[in-house]
Amino acid sequence: MLNYIRFADSLSAWFGKAFGWLVILMTVGMSYEVMVRYLFNRPTPWALDISFIMYGTLFMMGGAYTLSRGGHVRGDFLYRLWSDRTQAKVDLTLYVLFFFPGILALVFTGWKYASRSWGYAEVSVNSPAGIPIYQFKTVIVAAGILLLIQGVAQVFRCIICIREGTWPPLASDVEETETLLMKEMAQKQPQDQL
């Protein structure tokens, strides 16, 4: 189980970091659009569609990475008060009842939409540029498959926690700014007291 968890975490991290570069492309593309629109009065017909496609791709392909790092939003006002075993039991139940059916629906419905879209080489109707969007609909399926792989790893984490009483550690290659600031303040306080 631990080997699978490591595999899923590293796969999710690779895709999350690779698609994270879309932020740079979106920034460059929107900066170009602003420049040609306001300095040269020549707006592009493709900017809106491309920004939607890149943002949607970034959002969807980052889902498994976020799940692997425990970064999804959680209403934990009660959850954090429970023991690790209770948390794992609740998580396991919720994965089986809601997560997997939802992700499977995403994959199968996404496959239907993507195959239909590829069949007639669908283009965006939002702009006169006619940007192809069939490849974007394929991202729905890819993101669903990545979430499915990571979801199995999360179930394995729950099983390990139920058995051992503590959560296996999450991979951590990023840290919340708030956490960094709290650590920094904690380090400064003893020095200030001297």
pTM summary value: 0.82
Higher-pLDDT residue of 171, 131: 131
Closest by alpha carbon to 48, among 143, 128, 114, 138?
A: 128
Residue 47 lies in a domain: yes
Which residue range(s) make up the domain with 161?
Answer: 2-72+81-171
Six-digit token string for 122: 């669908």
Residue 106 lies in a domain: yes
Alpha carbon distance 67, 153 (integer Å): 10
Closest by alpha carbon to 12, among 72, 52, 53, 55?
A: 72
Residue 12 lies in a domain: yes
Alpha carbon distance 117, 102 (integer Å): 22
Question: What is the average pLDDT score of the chain?
Answer: 88
Residue 24 lies in a domain: yes
Does position 74 have pLDDT exceeding 90, yes or no? no
pLDDT at 193: 63
Does position 49 have pLDDT exceeding 90, yes or no? no
Q: What are phi and psi of 123, to 5 degrees?
A: -125, 160
Q: How many domains does the chain have?
A: 1
Residue 119 lies in a domain: yes
Residue 183 lies in a domain: no
pLDDT at 190: 67
Q: What is the tens place of the pLDDT at every residue in 95-135? A: 999 999 999 999 999 999 999 999 998 888 877 788 888 88
pLDDT at 29: 87
Residue 86 lies in a domain: yes
Residue 178 lies in a domain: no
